[in-house]
Amino acid sequence: MDRLDNTIRPYAWGSTTAIPRLLGVEPTGEPQAEMWMGAHPGAPSRTPRGPLNEVIDKSPEQELGARTFARFGPRLPFLLKILAAGAPLSLQVHPDLEQAKEGFEDEERRGLPLDAPHRNYKDANHKPELICALTEFDGLCGFRVPDDAAELLAGLDVDSLKPYVDLLHAHPEEAALREVLTAVLTADPEEMAHTVAETAAACARLGGAYAPYADLAHHYPGDPGVIAAMLLNHVRLQPGEALFLGAGVPHAYLSGLGVEIMANSDNVLRCGLTPKHVDVPELLRIVRFEAGDPGVLRPEASPDGEEVYETPIDEFRLSRYVLPEDTTHDLTRPAPQILLCTAGTVRVGEHPLAPGESVFVPAGEPTVVFGGGTLFRATVVA
């Protein structure tokens, strides 16, 4: 197995303190948004044998195991991250596998460069993801019931929001959400900026349930995503709780530190809260206009102490062990694994791991862990 040296991405929304605090190092003063663990070519983990993507490329069946290689091909099918949101991320959705393949092939046929700012599909894969809170973690996930969204908007008593309130009351659920989101994203920019300013002032005045949207408007003044965000469920995760985000589900992370795992893709369609490209027609094709509870996940414990976050995805499986002092577990598995310590000290084979440290374990490699602390395990569904 290989100890990982991981890249920290300095995106502007990142916290300046959360990842340094986890790692026990001094902050640099710069935002530190995500620490990537895996073989994504954009920032592969470094190992004593070289970059992890190159290690796997040299002998994919040996590193990934025959079953993982046969099912997912010669690449590690998941990417693990520590995510530290100091400011809201963009409001976004991800395509399903068929939509990603169609979109990628279409943009390839049209000759759009992969780094073009107006390109939607960077690859032909879907991007389901799971976020597990390490601290209290705020986010937006999935649509509110239209009547609830209408009540939230109406409570602001902003005249320019009243047409949206009426639409939410007047149509069936899917049509109501589709019509309002479309209206918000296609509104005249100057008129929408005025609406957002009035909304922000009302949210700041009322506080309580409206406070998150005042904060959004502070970070993204005039952005239609502030209004779109009010159509979504606001979720506050406690440490150990998680959210699964499937295809077509609009979402945004607002604040907090968490462990995130996803299929190995970079396909994002943005709804707002961003200066980046928003392709409204393609977005509306991908979004699932389904309202309901966002479904907070809590891990299911097995007899050996493994706590599994169950999802309907085969490309990744996230679990954790909260290990008492001086306990030993055998984590050998016929599939690739990344093991990440987030608390205490855990020895994995010959590698002692402090918080924020991780190892890559090839398929079938004997894996014994010892110590007291919290260890996250990222792998594939066997």
At residue 380, the 3 state secondary structure works out as coil
Residue 75 gets which letter from DSSP?
S
pLDDT, tens digit, 9 for 90 and up, residues 54-89: 999 999 999 999 999 999 999 999 999 999 999 999
Predicted pLDDT at 370: 94
**DSSP assignment of 88-145:** PPPEEE---HHHHHHHHHHHHHTT--TT-TT---SSS----EEEEESS-EEEEEEEPP
Helices (H), the chain: 18-23, 52-58, 60-64, 66-72, 97-109, 146-154, 162-170, 173-186, 189-206, 211-219, 225-229, 280-286
Instruction: Yes or no: say if 71 and 101 are a contact pair by the CB < 8 Å rule.
Output: no
d(CA 276, CA 119) in angstroms, rounded, equals 11
Predicted pLDDT at 152: 97
Instruction: Yes or no: say if 140 and 254 are a contact pair by the CB < 8 Å rule.
Output: yes
Look at the block and give the residue holding tokens 């973690």: 137
Instruction: Yes or no: say if 71 and 231 are a contact pair by the CB < 8 Å rule.
Output: no
Residue 159 gets which letter from DSSP?
G
pLDDT, tens digit, 9 for 90 and up, residues 149-199: 999 999 999 999 999 999 999 888 999 999 999 999 999 999 999 999 999
Instruction: Yes or no: say if 125 and 98 are a contact pair by the CB < 8 Å rule.
Output: no
Choose among 269, 277, 260: nearest CA to 318: 260
Stretch (H or E) spanning 8: strand 7-9
Instruction: Yes or no: say if 287 and 93 are a contact pair by the CB < 8 Å rule.
Output: yes
Look at the block and give the residue holding tokens 């506050």: 236
Options 270, 320, 333, 377, the catalytic residue: 270
Choose among 26, 80, 77, 28: nearest CA to 56: 77
**Pairing label, strands 251-263, 269-272:** unpaired
Beta-bridge mates of residue 318:
309, 378
Q: What CA–CA distances, in Å, run from 64 to 70, 187, 331, 360, 382?
A: 9, 49, 16, 11, 12
* Sequence-separated (6 or more) residues with CB below 8 Å from residue 115: none
Q: For the chain, what is the radius of gyration of the CA atoms?
A: 22
> Is 347 assigned a catalytic role?
no
Residue numbers in the chain where pLDDT is lower than 50: none
d(CA 126, CA 97) in angstroms, rounded, equals 5
Instruction: Yes or no: say if 293 and 233 are a contact pair by the CB < 8 Å rule.
Output: yes
At residue 284, the 3 state secondary structure works out as helix
Per-residue tokens: 166: 């009426």
Per-residue tokens: 55: 């290690």
At residue 16, the 3 state secondary structure works out as coil
How many residues are given for the chain?
Answer: 382
Angle at alpha carbon of residue 351, lines to 40 and 323, rounded to 5°: 95
Predicted pLDDT at 304: 86
Neighbours of 48 (CB within 10 A): 8
